[in-house]
Chain A
Amino acid sequence: MASEPTWDDQKIELALGNLLRAGVLLAGFVVFCGGCIYLVRHGSAPADYHIFRGEPSDYRTVTGIIRDALARRGRGLIQFGLLLLIATPIARVAFSVWGFTRERDYMYTVFTLIVLAILLFSLLGSGAP
């Protein structure tokens, strides 16, 4: 090969690693802020996690979580941070699709698209009807 490829596996990996760390730090920061609001408002109430009730629909769906976070409710903001965290590896896979396409590795572009489809189905399509 005459020319040095600008995007080899190693460089893509490195960019992905940094993307992941930035996502985790951002998610951690949002969760921390939400946690502070939550504790200031509800810290003295009794804790109860013995009985399983399931979360209300606001904390279950992507749209419900974003709506709550915008209203700056503590738990809504925490849930939004957790959503960012779950989205971080998904962003990494989406970025890999682009990376493999640039390398003209179409077999792995397809593999990565399959993984991406499974992840998106889990987050957006797996809610109980």
Chain B
Amino acid sequence: MTILEFTAAVAAVSFLAGLLGSLTGLGGGVVLVPLLTLLFKVDIRYAIGASLVSVIATSSGAASAYVKEGFSNIRIGMFLEIATTLGALAGAFVARLIPTNAIAIIFGAVLLYSAMLSRRPRSVAARNVPPDPLATRLRMNGSFPDVEGIRHYNVQRVPTGFSLMFGAGALSGLLGIGSGAVKVLAMDQAMQIPFKVSTTTSNFMIGVTAAASAGVYLNRGYVDPGLSMPVMLGVLLGSFLGTRILVKAETKVLRLVFSLVILSLGVEMIYKGIWGRM
């Protein structure tokens, strides 16, 4: 395969990943690394470097659209970014120390978990909970425009959320994914932040978290320009198009198909990690 053919094929697959990721809301980053390693036989370290770059691009590109709706909470985001960026640094450093086979197996496990999570119905955050003293001191409680007017919320269990965020950051740095699913889990489940606020704030944090590990990957020589170029441009174009047609498309079937893809990629990553060469 020549470089031109390789670039075109990688760009096409990245475009599709970005499109499906944004249409289903599951994120394209999670399928990129398995596709690059399994389909194109790219070394997993190069794949993770390229994926991180595309995660920054999609997260930052979508941010302005979310901000206009007035859901995201910049204080919650900034405070938790201390945890995610520290976690991302830790994950990126650990990535160099453990064998690539182990990274593949961990990646597979995360894929299986994401597939499972995407099939579970969304939980509803409890309403009218009393304010938590720590969250109040950190000025995290807020409000957002809901269907029945302005809705206030009180943030709960800050230490638990902070620890989960460190884990989300570490996974992001280790695997080159946005780990939006874990971030939403921490905010939505542990901290009882309303779903809309969780998802938009999490999107804002993903870019900053990925930038923290991308710096380490760049310095380590894991970010290859020839590979990252088609991945970044493809994902960016795909997710941009995805947000445009999001309103019209029937996403229920698409979500099912995409989670089946994630499931099978997870199984294959674990299989290759244990028996094959990565």
Q: Mark A95-129, 1 if CB is under 8 A from B, else 0.
A: 01000000001011001101100110111101110
In the complex formed, the residue of A with least CB distance to B40 is: A49
A35 → B minimal CB distance (Å): 4
Contact for B225 among A78, A96, A111, A127, CB less than 8 A: A78
Interface string of B1-43 (1 = CB under 8 A from A): 1111111000000000000000000000000000000001111
User: Do A12 and B74 have beta carbons less than 8 Å apart?
Assistant: yes
The tally of residues in A whose CB lies under 8 Å from a CB in B reads 69
Given contacts A9-B74, A20-B207, A34-B225, contact A127 B60 (CB under 8 A): no
- Among A17, A52, A89, the one with the most B-chain Cβ atoms within 10 Å of its Cβ is A89
Q: Smallest CB–CB gap between A29 and chain B, Å?
A: 10
Tell whether, in the assembled complex, residue A111 and residue B79 are in contact, meaning their CB atoms are under 8 Å apart: yes
The reply to whether B68 and A49 form a contact with Cβ atoms under 8 Å apart is no
State whether A47 touches B3 (Cβ < 8 A): yes
Query: In the complex, how many angstroms separate the beta carbon of A9 from the nearest chain B beta carbon?
Result: 6
CB neighbors of B among A41-75 (8 A): 42-47, 49-52, 54-57, 59-61, 74-75
Partner of A35, one of B79, B207, B230: B230
Q: Please list the residues of chain A having a beta carbon within 8 angstroms of any beta carbon in chain B.
A: 9-10, 12-14, 16-18, 20-21, 23-25, 27-28, 31-32, 34-35, 38-39, 42-47, 49-52, 54-57, 59-61, 74-76, 78-79, 82-83, 85-86, 88-90, 92-93, 96, 105, 107-108, 111-112, 114-115, 118-119, 121-124, 126-128
**B42: A residues at CB distance < 8 A:** 49-50
* Stretch of B104-112, B175-183, B215-223, B243-251 lying at the A interface: B215-223
Q: Kindly report which residue of chain B lies nearest to residue A39, judged by CB atoms.
A: B4
Contact A54 B221 (CB under 8 A): yes
